[in-house]
Amino acid sequence: MTLDEFFARNPRAALAFSGGVDSACLLWAGLQAGAEVRPYFVKTPFQPRFELEDARRLCKQLDVDLIVLDYDILDHETVTSNPPDRCYHCKRQMLSRLRERAAADGFSPLLDGTNASDDGGDRPGMRALRELEVRSPLRECGLTKDRIRELSRAAGLFTWDKPSYACLATRIPAGRTITREDLERIEQGEEALSGLGFRDFRLRLTAEGAKLQVLEDQLPLALERRREILFALERDFSEITLDLRPRVPID
């Protein structure tokens, strides 16, 4: 099945939209196929500001309205307690709310940007998608991440080379309670590091502070800008370490 065929069968659909490469390509493909695809962005403390800014920018490029749903995921103890399957509880809450709103707006089915390169095993997030009957057209049509980037580049989408991104909650070790304060200082720290030239990195909480994980080709940059990193982070983190094992990019 092709995406054109999928949207011919599903001409009016809601899309869980993140502003990342996958959901951006899926939105573009649906509009190109003549379908009425409505993008919904669920705004929680787990999403940094730049994600919403990218989502708005992409929707403006495609001349489609973005629906932003504010949702305080921190109201749910099953999420903030940060169990190993936190992603399941989080996705279940967010997608349930999104599906209810989309149905009230007259849009069905609910789609997401899971692609054919994603592990389809019994991961917590995938379990939530199956239980809520969320459709993943990129996966169903066999589109891999590399192919999605190719299509996005050809379409002129600025997201084509955007690194894959995991929510801020993934920076907090499982079992450690997720707080608004920790999420805010992680976001501020990563925003500062982006300003220093780092790309596709992670700032993870440790027992005493934070650990910076960067790509192998950016390890020299981390050493070169050591003082600037300390200046940017030491107000919020008592201990700052650099992981000498390079971060492996996830696509």
Residues 144 and 191 in one domain: no
**Are residues 213 and 125 part of one domain?**
no
What are the tokens at 243?
Answer: 């992981």
- Residue 233: what pLDDT? 96
Buried b (16+ CB within 10 A) or exposed e, 205-226: beeeebbbbbbeebbebbeebe
Residues 133, 219 within the same domain: no
Please give the angle made by the CA atoms of 86, 210 and 20, to the nearest 5 degrees: 55
Query: Is residue 90 located within the same domain as residue 134?
Result: yes
Q: Of 132, 161, 190, at which residue does a domain stop?
A: 161
118-122, 147-151, 235-239 — which is least confidently predicted?
Answer: 118-122
Say yes or no: 145 and 190 in one domain: no
Residue 229's nearest CA partner among 175, 193, 183 is 193
Same domain, yes or no: 238 and 120: no
* Spatial CA neighbour of 162 closest among 59, 21, 2, 45: 21
Residue 38's CB is within 10 A of a number of other CB atoms, namely: 20
**172 domain residue, yes or no:** no
Residue 122 has pLDDT above 60, yes or no: no
242 in Cβ contact with 222 (< 8 Å): yes
Q: Categorize the per-residue pLDDT at 121 as very low, low, confident or very high, splitting at 50, 70 and 90.
A: low
The whole-model pTM stands at 0.92
Q: What is the rounded average pLDDT of the residues 18-34?
A: 96
List the domain range (segments joined by +) for residue 157.
3-161
- In a domain? residue 112: yes
Q: Say how many domains are in the chain.
A: 2
Whether residues 62 and 145 fall in one domain: yes
Q: Are 239 and 205 in contact (CB under 8 A)?
A: no
**12 and 115 part of one domain:** yes
CATH of the domain at 142: 3.40.50.620
